[in-house]
Structure 1
Amino acid sequence: MVDSTHGTSPQQASAVPSPSSSQPDQTFYTWSTFFSILSGQASNAERQKYFDARDILREESDCKRCEKHRDYLFKYSPTVNFMRSEVSKLGGDLNSSNVQCKRCDTQQSGGFDLNYGILLCANQFRNRGHVEDTMAHEMVHAWDYLRFKVDNNNLRHQACTEIRAATLSGECRFIREFFTRNQWKITQQLQECVRRRATLSVMARPNCKDEAHATRMVNEVWDSCFSDTRPFDEIYR
């Protein structure tokens, strides 16, 4: 995601992760495997099986916690309520019926689809602040799609909405970068974070060739999209 990246093709319905129907392999969800992971002795396959089993077994509680955070943020978050109002002005309606918490099989924290709404990946969240950043990110995408008629097949469009969502959601503020992603640079920290996350998101698009292609798309729209703070007056998170 990486730090549960929002943008692994979040706008494309085919790329929005869905819950798996497979049964958990509980032979890997043990204290032995857990301590092997802590000590660095577990293989990547063992690590993945452990976390897959954990997510399946904790799915119900993860979703309930996610829904509790979502409902709280709809009531009390200034950012979420502002974006909800701005989306409404464009004819959209974001509510608990189309902002849904599900277990995801990929390392992303959320996704957006114009026809279905916002997906919150319940098994990826650290805390309510993480849910708030994700909701804000996806709400920026929703606003962009309604305001600018974003083309899913146009990588420049995709790069622009990813730049704006990373900039305005608060996910790239210094404290988040410092404590959760071990990014300790101070100079140009915001810009570097936004570039990194936007590039990762564009790379996940089916029509993106490679990292160099994604980087070029981000660079081509950077000046206009990074400076565009609509519907906010300025970057404040």
Structure 2
Amino acid sequence: MADTTLPETTTANPSDPAASQPDKSFYTWSTWFSILSGQATPADRDRYLHARDTIKEAADCARCAKHRDYLLQYSPIVRFLREQINELGQDINSENVRCKRCTTRQSGGFDSEYGILLCANQLRNRGHVEDTMAHEMVHAWDHLRFKVERGNLRHAACTEIRASTLSGECRFGREFWTRGQWKLTQQLQECVRRRATLSVMNRPGCKDDVHAARIVNEVWDSCFNDTRPFDEIYR
């Protein structure tokens, strides 16, 4: 399995006026209502979200850290994965699970040197943080358990399939209520395929969506059915 690509993060630089002075003219109720009504352009929506994320950065990161610490102590899936990672000689803790503001729309990422990144401005609630932590902890377990070949798209596809399957982010309730995916049959498989394909598409060396889908299909059977370190799909 390979490391996942970390999202870009932003740390405010006091000497950079653009970083310390977000465009507050777009962070208004009128802009928000224009976005809700579909009247805002994509560029206006992006400017609003950037201003919002910059202004709320400290509060977002504090909330994310609070959720992270709670989950490390009380979440069954996070505690189990942490125990399994400990057995492989490493630990996941508040020092290597970091909450940052991200400039992309990913919710998190994993790197074998850095640890786990939680994109504080992309996480809706504690349940979303739990899914993201579990997803990235599966990547961490895979990195420790299997031979890593950075840049190998088949390895990248496999770990993404496993992380989406085992983390719970593709369970029916999450798909139904937060992503508008209402199919009753093959819902889990379709969600995992969709998310794994999108992830592989963003890897260096992937040509396009067709190439990504082919790679996912090549490793699907073995990786979707491999539930280690769980006995079965947990949720």
Partner of 1:131: 129
Q: For the Cα contact (< 8 Å) 2:27–2:51, is it kept in 1?
A: yes
Give 1:228's match in structure 2, choosing from 214, 226, 229: 226
Contact 2:112–2:140 (Cα < 8 Å) also in 1: yes
Q: Which residue of 1 aligns with 2:15?
A: none
Is the aligned partner of 1:141 residue 2:151? no
Choose the corresponding residue for 1:150, options 138, 142, 148.
148
Q: Is 1:11 the counterpart of 2:4 in the alignment?
A: yes
Give the counterpart of 2:80 among 79, 82, 87. Answer: 82
- Residues 144 and 97 from structure 1, CA distance in 2 versus in 1: closer, same or farther, beyond 3 angstroms? same
Q: 1-side partners of 2:150 and 2:26: how far apart?
A: 39
Aligned 1:88-127 pairs, distance under 5 A: 88-127=86-125
User: Which stretches in structure 1 are left out of the alignment for 5+ residues?
Assistant: 1-8
> Secondary structure of the equivalent of 2:78?
helix
**RMSD over equivalenced CA pairs, Å:** 1.2
Q: Deviations over 1:170-189 (max 9, x none)?
A: 00000000000000001100
Identity percentage of aligned residues = 71
Q: Which residue of 1 aligns with 2:171?
A: 173
Change (3 A) 1:36 1:20: farther
Instruction: State the secondary structure of the residue aligned to 1:111.
Output: strand
Is the partner of 2:23 in helix, strand or coil?
A: coil
Question: How far is 1:24 from its partner?
Answer: 1.0
| C-alpha deviation, 1:105, in angstroms | 0.5
Contact conserved, 2:3 with 2:150, CA < 8 A, in 1?
no
TM-score (structure 2 length as normaliser): 0.94
Q: Counterpart of 2:187 in structure 1: which amino acid? A: Q
Deviations 1:35-61 (A, max 9, x none): 111111111000000010001000000
Residue identity opposite 1:18 in structure 2: T
For residues 211-222 of structure 1, the aligned pairs below 5 Å read 211-222=209-220
d(CA) in 2 for partners of 1:65 and 1:149? 35
Residue of structure 1 aligned with 2:187, choices 172, 186, 189: 189
Which residue of the partner structure matches residue 5 of structure 1? none
Q: Residue 203 of structure 1 is aligned with which of 193, 201, 220?
A: 201
Q: Is the 8 A contact 2:7 2:103 kept in 1?
A: no
Contact between 1:178 and 1:184, CA under 8 Å: does it hold in 2?
Answer: yes
* Paired letter, 2:66: K
Q: Secondary structure at the match of 1:100?
A: strand
| Amino acid corresponding to residue 80 of structure 2 in structure 1 | F
The ranges of structure 1 where at least 4 consecutive aligned residues each deviate by more than 4 angstroms after the TM superposition are: none
- Cα distance in 2 between the residues matched to 1:200 and 1:172: 14
* Post-superposition CA distance 1:73-99 (Å, at most 9, x none): 011001001000101111111110000
Asked whether the 8 Å contact 2:77–2:134 carries over to 1, the reply is yes
Deviation for aligned residue 1:149: 2.1
Q: Does the CA-based 8 Å contact 2:78-2:130 persist in structure 1?
A: yes
Tell me the matched-pair count.
227
- Provide the rounded CA distance (Å) in 1 between the counterparts of 2:63 and 2:192: 28
> What SS does structure 2 have at the residue aligned with 1:25?
coil
